[in-house]
A and B are shown apart, each in its own frame.
Chain A
Amino acid sequence: MLVETAGLTKVFGDVRAVDDLTIQIPDGAIGLVGPNGAGKTTFLRLLLSLLQPTAGTAKVLGRDIGDGVPVRERIGYMPEHDCLIPDMTGVGLVSYMGRISGLDRDTAMSRSHDVLQFVGVEEERYRKIAEYSTGMKQKIKLAQSMVHDPQLYIFDEPTTGLDPRGRTEMLDLVRTIAKSPGRNVLLSSHLLPDVETICKYVVILDGGHQIAAGELSQLLTGSTDRLRIDVRGDQAAFARLLKEAGFDADAGPSGLHVSRKPGLEAAVFETAKSLGAEVRYMGKEIRSLEELFLELVARTDKRGA
């Protein structure tokens, strides 16, 4: 297991940023998604021992997070916010971070050049970080997380502040790392397409709670007992008529979801005819991560209300 937690909780004053979180995250490329304030960054910082848990335990790569140093030896962390030392050069900072991670001077320098070339900071590596653009700073942050070649990469919102081109480049880099053997990626983002293109397993957090976790393909496929129907027309009225006809139908952000039952297909077309609506899709409950996410969050909100 990449990460295992049991009752992990972090409280800041009255806010329960991570609330009784018990999850098991397998190896591989993992997406951690949730709206702003869901507890993603707090969760990641707990794993790094940058924050001390209020309650509960967690293991990263089989080691208790309380061990601190041995855990961090195996992690490369790319924080979301600006954290670079402005008066150092790109290569100077990356090699410095390599040395603090335990590499000897020569290896740290050689690795710095390698990873800077990998991330695409080449000629600029001898310039001071204060002179870098946001995109280059993001790449330096990525490079410093890679320099000691950790087993686990933790990327916290790696595309923050990047233009579309920079975002594509950054996602390509993260994807390359995620595909490399022996390396695991924990990618935290509220940009769901970023996660969808890179990760095979997702953990969805909201309000410090896990609201779903699993293989992305399974989560997006949903239940085989239900159909998804996309309707052009009055979706709410469509759902109401189906309900009146004895079918279990829900109208959500990702369309209508109806339980399979004999006579469903006929009832759907009857309803469409009576409402003058157009059935555009009727089939498996395949959703985008965004649709799934909105559904789950809406469900959580309903429960909360």
Chain B
Amino acid sequence: MSITLPTYSRLELPLLARRQRVWAIIATGLRKELRRPAAIVVTGIGVAFTTITSLVLLFLSQIIPTGQAADLTFFAGPASNFFVLFFVSLMAAVIGAGLIADDMQSMAFTLYLSRPITQVDYLLAKAAILAPLIAMVTILPLLLTALVAALLGFFSWTIALEAMGISIVVGGLLTLFYTAVTLFLSSLSRRKGIAAAGVFAVNFGLTIPATVLALAIRNDSILYMSPWNDYVAVASGAFGGPSIGIDWPVALAILLGVTVLAALVTYVRMKAVEVVTG
């Protein structure tokens, strides 16, 4: 036993600022996720699949002669790629669902909050772990699509760069939405399975019924219920593509509103969480 020979000596070092403490949580969290086979597989397949299908969609629209000049509207198709929805759901469920729920389950939440950081620091760090990984599916494939299209000469660099800029904005919007909603769901329960199920419920549980119902009763305003359709409306509006039947400004307001609301509720919940157990 080493306790008879303690090597413990008093340390006199200034502590680093809070942002570096938050960065430590982010870096450790990202490293941990990027070592998990499930996260690696979902991210890798997600990026590859969404990029390839986006490129195919773009090239198909180029090959089929419509007489239309190669402009930004061609990028509305890749931005509305349904595989984005599928993989963003999968990533949010596999990576995001456990971000807060796991800490509550293992009670590590107590350890975090007994350290010199605030609940906001903790939440920001968790969001900063999830957001870049979600952006791998929501932004990166669109950027790659525009880049490859420009390299192959399908579009001018001016249009490709413009498409990249818009992709960052609309992809960023989707990233923020899913980050906020996933963290909110993750903060609701100690069981990450419940949060993961919640992510799928928000996506497919709203999108599929809304789409079916809108077709059945021929009323497109029901599509506002679906975050994915809201996003598609915004993306289509941003790239100047065809309308999907709902107004993109309203859809944008809904997406932003839900994002802000989910973030606020998560923040309030975290502030209110008192470490009572034990």
Using CB atoms and an 8 Å cutoff, list the residues of chain A in contact with chain B.
Answer: 12, 41, 45, 48, 50-52, 68-70, 72-73, 75, 77, 79-87, 96-97, 99-105, 107, 111, 114-115, 117-120, 122, 144, 146, 148-149, 169, 172-173, 176-177, 180-183
Q: How far is the CB of A91 from chain B (nearest CB, A)?
A: 13
Interface members, chain B 6-46 (any A CB < 8 Å):
6-11, 13, 15-18, 20-21, 24-25, 28, 32
Q: Is the CB of B274 within 8 A of A52?
A: yes
- Bound Cα distance A117, B1 (Å): 9
Partner of A100 from the list B21, B110, B276 (CB cut-off 8 Å) is B21
CB neighbours (8 Å) of A82 from chain B are 106-107
Contacts of A107 in B (CB 8 A): 11, 13
- In this complex, what residue of B is CB-closest to A71? B116
A284 to B198, CA, bound (A): 68
Task: Establish whether residues B108 and A83, one from each chain, have CB atoms under 8 Å apart when the complex forms.
Answer: yes
**B residues less than 8 Å from A84 (CB atoms):** 106, 108, 111
Can you offer 18 A-B residue contacts whose CB atoms are under 8 A? A45-B274, A48-B114, A51-B275, A72-B115, A77-B114, A79-B110, A81-B107, A83-B278, A96-B24, A96-B28, A97-B111, A99-B24, A100-B116, A102-B18, A107-B13, A115-B8, A117-B2, A180-B8
Contact pick for B8, options A41, A70, A81, A118, CB 8 Å: A118
A43 to chain B, nearest CB (A): 13
Q: Is the CB of B115 within 8 A of A97?
A: yes
Q: A97-B111, A101-B15 are in contact. List 18 more A-B contacts (CB 8 A).
A: A50-B274, A69-B118, A72-B115, A73-B116, A75-B114, A79-B114, A82-B106, A82-B107, A85-B111, A99-B21, A100-B24, A100-B116, A101-B21, A102-B116, A107-B11, A120-B3, A149-B11, A169-B1
Interface string of B267-278 (1 = CB under 8 A from A): 000000011111
A52-B274, A73-B116, A102-B20 are known contacts. Are A146 and B8 too (CB-CB below 8 A)?
A: yes
**In the assembled complex, B117 has its CB within 8 A of some CB on chain A:** yes
Residue from A52, A102, A173, A183 within 8 A of B15 (CB atoms)? A102
Are B18 and A69 closer than 8 Å at their CB atoms? yes
Chain B residues 83-130 with CB under 8 Å of chain A are 103, 106-118
Q: Across the interface, which residues of B come within 8 angstroms of A86, CB to CB? A: 106
In the bound complex, residues from chain B placing their C-beta under 8 Å from that of A77 are: 114
Nearest neighbor of A148 in chain B, beta-carbon distance: B15
Nearest residue (CB) in B for A104 is B16
Q: Which residues of B contact A173 (CB under 8 A)?
A: 3
- Shortest Cβ distance from A60 into chain B, in angstroms? 13
Q: Is the CB of B106 within 8 A of A83?
A: yes
- List, in ascending order, chain B residues with CB within 8 A of A79's CB: 107, 110-111, 114, 278
Cα of A273 to Cα of B116 in the assembled complex, Å: 66
10 tightest Cβ-Cβ pairs between the two chains A and B: A102-B15, A81-B278, A99-B24, A149-B11, A83-B107, A77-B114, A73-B116, A72-B116, A118-B8, A50-B275
Chain B, residue nearest A72 (CB)? B116
Of B6, B9, B10, which is in contact with the most chain A CB atoms at under 10 Å from its CB? B6
Q: Is B110 a contact partner of A118 (Cβ separation < 8 A)?
A: no
Given contacts A172-B3, A180-B8, A144 and B111 within 8 Å (CB-CB): yes
Residue ID in chain B nearest A177 by CB atoms: B8
A103 touches which one: B3, B8, B16, B118 (CB < 8 A)?
B16
CA A86 to CA B108, docked complex, whole Å: 9
Contact B115 A176 (CB under 8 A): no
Please, which residue of chain A has its CB at the minimum distance from the CB of B107? Answer: A83
Per the bound structure, the CA–CA distance linking A82 and B7 in Å amounts to 26
Q: A147 to nearest B CB, angstroms?
A: 9
What CA separation (Å) do A39 and B101 show in the bound complex?
A: 27
Do A176 and B8 contact each other (CB < 8 Å), given the known contacts A81-B107, A100-B21?
A: yes
Q: Is the CB of A100 within 8 A of B16?
A: no
Interchain CB contact under 8 A, A100 and B112: yes
Across the interface, do A41 and B108 meet the contact criterion of CB distance under 8 Å? no
Interface centre among A50, A85, A100, A104 (most CB of B within 10 A): A100
> For residue A96, which residues in chain B have a CB less than 8 angstroms away from its CB?
24, 28
Q: Taking the nearest CB of chain B, how far is it from the CB of A14, in angstroms?
A: 15
Closest to B272 in A: A52
Q: Mark B233-268, 1 if CB is under 8 A from A, else 0.
A: 000000000000000000000000000000000000
Is B13 a contact of A176 with CB atoms below 8 Å? no
Check A51 against B276 for contact (C-beta < 8 Å): yes
Taking a contact as CB atoms under 8 Å apart, the answer to whether B10 and A50 are in contact is no
Q: Give the docked Cα–Cα distance between A156 and B16 (Å).
A: 27
Q: Which of B8, B17, B18 contacts A114 (CB 8 A)?
A: B8
Q: CB distance B276 to A12 under 8 Å?
A: yes
The CA-CA distance from A86 to B113 in the complex, in Å, is 18
Residues of A within 8 A of B109 (CB): 83
Q: Which residue of B lies closest to A79 (CB)?
A: B110
User: Judging by beta carbons under 8 Å apart, are A176 and B1 in contact?
Assistant: no
Bound together, the chains give a CA A142 to CA B157 distance in angstroms of 59
Task: Give every chain B residue within 8 A of A180 (Cβ-Cβ).
Answer: 8, 10
Nearest chain A CB to B201 CB, angstrom units: 27
> Which residues of chain B have C-beta atoms less than 8 A from A73's C-beta?
15, 116
CA distance A96 to B2 in the complex (A): 23
Q: How far is the CA of A53 from the CA of B16 in the complex (A)?
A: 29
